[in-house]
């Protein structure tokens, strides 16, 4: 069963002198984030481009670039109905193709009575075996998503759907401050802690904020009102992959990030990032 969990994670989950600080005096109060360009060292670079509908709702996120020799290409299309509710997403990614998967189509269920997304489901084939992932969203009294529980069904195997992965979200004010992940190695083993991510935030404006849709779409960084200054990742699986990212920003006149530097510890790798608005 260990083989299936990393695939689910795929579906969910510069030199400083070269950075351009040129947008520092640009007023972006009414402009949308259209691109994020990042570079780590001399070889790893990533570009993320965002597209919106006429009502300024996000409908596509396209990633290109490479890191550590791996292609990070990912095309994530978000389909909405006439009311703007997300109905399906279609994801095509280099990592999925490498696993023999052309694309992943996820369907979302929405309750008009509560104005909440209740669940999602996708089906794919891994090594000729059909796998269905059904996620159920839980909310707190303030309407924020507190967890998503992913139940896996493996077609043809003699056991019912089982809880394979659970993400638990903790908030402070308008920001998501931690994400805890539990995962199983397969039935009947219950999910066990595998990671914890904790965030420290600034007081400036996040360049792209989409609220609960960020959790539904597994783009947790787009929930927050503000920007992370520190991210602490703790590996609870015993793999020893703990690390910390510290971020510093230059803000434009709208108090949104113009550029940033992220430093990883251990290792000291520095990622320079530029934000573009239109």
Separation of alpha carbons 225 and 172, rounded Å: 11
Dihedral class, residue 238 (left if φ above 0, else alpha if ψ from -120 to 50, else beta): left
**Radius of gyration in angstroms for the set of CA atoms belonging to the chain, rounded to a whole number:** 19
For residue 272, cis peptide bond before it (omega within 30 degrees of 0): no
Separation of alpha carbons 212 and 217, rounded Å: 9
CA distances from 242 to 66, 121, 194, 220 (A): 22, 31, 11, 20
* Whole-prediction pTM: 0.89
Residues 253, 259, 265, 268, CA torsion sign? negative
188: its two tokens: 């009947």
**Residue-by-residue pLDDT tens, the chain, 278 positions:** 444 555 555 555 423 333 333 344 456 778 999 999 999 988 999 999 999 999 999 999 999 999 999 999 999 999 999 999 999 999 999 999 998 899 999 999 999 999 999 999 999 988 888 999 999 999 999 999 999 999 999 998 888 899 999 999 999 999 999 999 999 988 888 899 999 999 999 999 999 999 999 999 999 999 999 999 999 999 999 999 999 999 999 999 999 999 999 999 999 999 999 999 99
Q: Within 37-105, where are the H helices? A: 94-98
Going along the chain from its start, the domains and CATH numbers come out as 4-13+36-277 (2.40.160)
């Amino acid at each position: 069963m260990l083989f299936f969990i990393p695939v689910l994670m795929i579906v969910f989950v510069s030199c400083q002198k070269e950075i351009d600080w040129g947008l520092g005096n640009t007023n972006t109060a009414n402009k949308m984030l259209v691109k994020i360009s990042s570079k780590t060292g001399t070889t790893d670079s990533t570009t993320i481009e965002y597209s919106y509908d006429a009502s300024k709702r996000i409908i596509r996120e396209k990633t290109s670039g490479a890191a550590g020799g791996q292609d990070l290409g990912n095309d994530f299309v978000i389909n909405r109905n006439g009311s703007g509710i997300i109905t399906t997403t279609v994801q095509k990614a280099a990592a999925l193709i490498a696993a023999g998967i052309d694309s992943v189509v996820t369907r979302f269920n929405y309750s008009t009575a509560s104005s909440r997304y209740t669940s999602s489901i996708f089906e794919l084939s891994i090594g000729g075996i059909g796998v269905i992932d059904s996620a159920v969203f839980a909310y707190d009294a303030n309407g924020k998503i507190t967890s998503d529980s992913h139940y896996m069904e493996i077609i043809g195997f003699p056991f019912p759907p089982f809880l394979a992965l659970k993400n638990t979200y903790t908030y402070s004010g308008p920001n998501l401050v931690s994400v805890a992940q539990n995962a199983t190695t397969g039935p009947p083993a219950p999910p066990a802690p595998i990671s914890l991510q904790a965030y420290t935030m600034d007081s400036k404006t996040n360049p792209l904020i989409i609220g609960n849709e960020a959790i539904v779409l597994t783009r947790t960084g787009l929930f927050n009102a503000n920007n992370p200054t520190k991210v602490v990742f703790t590996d609870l699986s015993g793999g020893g992959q703990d690390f910390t990212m510290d971020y510093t920003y230059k803000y434009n006149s709208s108090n949104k990030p113009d550029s940033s530097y992220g430093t990883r510890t251990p290792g000291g790798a520095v990622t320079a990032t530029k934000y573009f608005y239109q």
